[in-house]
Structure 1
Amino acid sequence: MRPKNLDEIVGQQHVIGTDTALYKMIKKGHVPSILLFGEPGIGKTSIAQAIAGTVNRPFIPINATTAGKKDIEHAVTIAKQEGKLILFIDEVHRFNKAQQDYLLPHVENGLITLIGATTENPFHDVNPAIRSRCGQIKELRRLSSKDVEELLRRALSDKEDGLGAVNITMTQEAIDLISSSTNGDARSALNILEDVVMVSKDEKTDQAVVDIQIVKECVENKGFSHDKNGDLHYSLLSCLQKSIRGSDVNAALHYLARLIEGGDLVSICRRILTCAYEDISVAAPDVPMHILAACQSVERLGLPEGRIPLANAVIELCLSPKTNSAYKALDLALEDVRKGMVGEIPMHLRDAHYNGAKVMGHGAGYKYPHDYPNSFVNQQYLPDLLKDRKYYRPKQNGHEKHFAKVYERIEELKKF
């Protein structure tokens, strides 16, 4: 059921729609080297084959995890014999240096057009030498349920490549269930369709009456995919934190659920503990301790019970007051230090707890705050170079309002 040319492609209109530059140049016979990236089952291989079919060029697919240098040499030989060809390399981020060094000169001289596919982010994982040769880097998106339904209906009616030779009775409810439950994964949807038709088929009459219960059994968990080391995993962690930061409880719980199903509790705990200090911080000083306790509970409980403290933690984070002033203040101080703006440590603050320190003037003139009312005395703590520097800018959220008042009062006292 793969498309044989560009006009048979369903979805991905942002990449290969009739109004795109890529579509227009391919239709005119010019195929640039391309990197396609996105989740499994959303059309990377299909688009590559459709491009080759549109320009009527030889098409050789290989997988970088299993192919060797001989496979590349074979492709070059075919290209020299038959003219320009399209070499499709799946999992291109795993391409090794020997393969790359042999292939790239032939890509540069135009003998071979490279179409690479990867489920990883090419800007992170694909060798820069390969990436730089690809004039087009395109991210594919999951198909909509309508796109998937269109593919299912094509398969049901296609007598040559699909299931059209079977007399199939299938309700709209069953088609909707497959198209909406596979999360835009065309390959998974077509596999499920084939499964439900084959299990429903009467060998004697060549008829298939599809029962909705069979469909429900076949689609269970088919729309969920997760790779703990993949780009999607880190995007989900990012979405979780940004939803917490934005105080959106429902969105945060959605991304938490997806991460829990992925099974990486360590990453979840690390991220929500980061949220507690990065996004809640001094606006609610007790929250980080609550989150640490929740993470420790998760470590002891595991799944499925560990989901309970995680739910409590994420909801508390979402609904707590927010501030980022503490770590932002430290970042400003770090910036000065890294620029070399440190200055001499004031003599009255230097360590005076050893023989000879007083002779050197260490500690001379130091005022011990506990000897003064309210444990405050006005004296200089920063080096002369930075004595007027202000790093902390308190916000008026939650408990930080109290800190802000204390901070402002101390700054006022310093003026006298």
Structure 2
Amino acid sequence: MKPLAYRMRPKKIEDIVGQQHLVGPGKIIERMVKARLLSSMILYGPPGTGKTSIASAIAGSTKYAFRTLNAATDSKKDLEAIAAEAKMSGTVVLMLDEIHRLTKPKQDFLLPHLENGSIILIGATTENPYISINPAIRSRTQIYEVKPLTAADITQAINRALTDTTNGLGDLDLEVSPEAMTHLSQATHGDLRSTLNALELAAKSTPPNDEGQIILDLPIVEECLQRKALVQDKDGDAHYDVISAFQKSIRGSDADAALHYLARLLEAGDLISVNRRLLTIAYEDIGLANPAAAARTVSAVTAAEKIGLPEARIPLANAVIELCVSPKSNSAIQAIDAAIADIRAGNYGDVPDTLKDAHYQGAAKLGRGTDYKFPHDFPHDWVKQTYLPQKIKNKQYYQPKENGRIEQAFKKQYELLKHAQK
């Protein structure tokens, strides 16, 4: 039998769970499908977030033939067979998994078919395509990020699986407790494939009670997911409460409290949330007061990902303690948020002519870059000139703090440079 996650793949674009920034009304993929003007694309994001589902739904909505291959394991002959099919019967939508592992011979074979549109390529990868995918493929595709599903998205998919009598579990007399439902929706961090397969395992391996009903409670779901819940929390807030307390304890410089919440998260097997949160904290809350701590946090998270639990607790504890005892500064996040607020409010002007691109014929006639002063040609590699648009030339986004000798030094240098620019 095919797994539940496979059986529940959407047949049309309206059935896709999540990813509304791509498939919602008026969004880019929905527009392509509606106009039947598909272009090749690369979808990148974490496992189980719907990359294959989007490809399947696109093909179903447009009635094109849909084929799937794996760039790592399928051969050039498999690609040739799909190209022959496209030549005989028309456009084929090809879902190519692990596209970052596409070899040059396969790539060279595909390129002309992408050019003439006989194959609509939908590549899927968990890797950053701007780093891992050959520029020749990138230049012929649109690149879209697929984001982790929210708990609400996963709950929607679970309920659909529980009621679907054709492809889901709707033919079973099945009840999922509120605590088990909350854990199913949160524990896989947006990986719907893992959630649905754990749900099916739980449903098929749990004997019915005396009334013939299968009851899935929290312990059963924990066992099938192989992830413990933080607490039995009917409202689903405990998971986020612990993560919030973890960050706030580090921000408040309480190492013992931070280690306590770290332990709770690790005991629940939630290495992903710990790593994400630590990287955010390092740059958001410690920031310029101790930049080296951020670099060491990145190293600790990388080590934790490579060695896994339980050993991952060691580099993570190192990072947590250092972040707690470090001086704190949120000046960087405040600076960028202030700049973004100006952009969103329309408070910006034209790039000064001296800074505009001058690497094309005729740029000098337009006055582009002609008066630019190259700082490295001047003493101390600095020269006074205007960089901000004239409309906001005196704007100051960065407000330095003095909560550590490093940002104290940054503050002194920043103020010297600002004064010299006047």
TM range (shorter): 0.5 to 0.7
Matches within 5 A, 1:165-204: 165-202=171-208
TM superposition shift of 1:399: 6.2
SS in 1 for 2:326: helix
Counterpart for residue 79 of structure 1: 86
Percent identity, aligned pairs only, is 35
2:53 pairs, out of 21, 25, 46, with 46
Counterpart for residue 363 of structure 1: none
Note if 1:4 corresponds to 2:20.
no
Name the CA shift for 1:389/1:157 in 2 (closer, same or farther; >3 Å): closer
Counterpart for residue 319 of structure 1: 328
Matches within 5 A, 1:278-317: 279-280=288-289, 304-305=313-314, 307-317=316-326
Q: CA RMSD for the aligned pairs?
A: 4.7
Counterpart for residue 338 of structure 2: none
1:188–1:222: 8 Å Cα contact kept in structure 2?
no
TM superposition shift of 1:338: 9.7
**1:342-373 deviation digits (Å, cap 9, x = unpaired):** xxxxxxxxxxxxxxxxxxxxxxxxxxxxxxxx
Name the CA shift for 1:22/1:219 in 2 (closer, same or farther; >3 Å): same
Name the CA shift for 1:35/1:281 in 2 (closer, same or farther; >3 Å): closer
TM superposition shift of 1:34: 1.3
Name the CA shift for 1:67/1:388 in 2 (closer, same or farther; >3 Å): closer
SS in 1 for 2:10: coil
Unaligned runs of 5+ in 1: 224-242, 324-335, 342-384, 408-416
TM superposition shift of 1:110: 1.2
Instruction: Give the number of the structure whose alpha-carbon radius of gyration is greater.
Output: 1
Q: Distance in 1 between matches of 2:22 and 2:128?
A: 16
SS in 2 for 1:106: helix
Q: Distance in 1 between matches of 2:312 and 2:31?
A: 51
Counterpart for residue 155 of structure 1: 161
TM superposition shift of 1:316: 1.6
1:93–1:120: 8 Å Cα contact kept in structure 2?
yes
Note if 1:397 corresponds to 2:406.
no
**1:70-103 deviation digits (Å, cap 9, x = unpaired):** 1110110111122111111111111111001011
Q: Distance in 1 between matches of 2:408 and 2:20?
A: 54
Matches within 5 A, 1:16-415: 16-134=23-141, 136-202=142-208, 207-221=213-227, 261=271, 279-280=288-289, 304-305=313-314, 307-319=316-328, 339=376, 397-398=402-403, 400=405
Q: Distance in 2 between matches of 1:9 and 1:116?
A: 18
**1:143-201 deviation digits (Å, cap 9, x = unpaired):** 11111111111111111111111111222332222112221211111011101111213
SS in 2 for 1:78: helix
Counterpart for residue 348 of structure 1: none
Unaligned runs of 5+ in 2: 1-7, 230-246, 305-310, 333-372, 385-399, 414-422
SS in 1 for 2:139: helix
SS in 2 for 1:100: helix
Q: TM-score under structure 2 normalisation?
A: 0.61
Q: Distance in 2 between matches of 1:94 and 1:32?
A: 21
Which amino acid in 1 is paired with 2:184?
Answer: I
Q: TM-score under structure 1 normalisation?
A: 0.62
Q: Distance in 1 between matches of 2:27 and 2:45?
A: 19
Name the CA shift for 1:216/1:110 in 2 (closer, same or farther; >3 Å): same
Q: Distance in 2 between matches of 1:260 and 1:157?
A: 30
Name the CA shift for 1:386/1:72 in 2 (closer, same or farther; >3 Å): closer
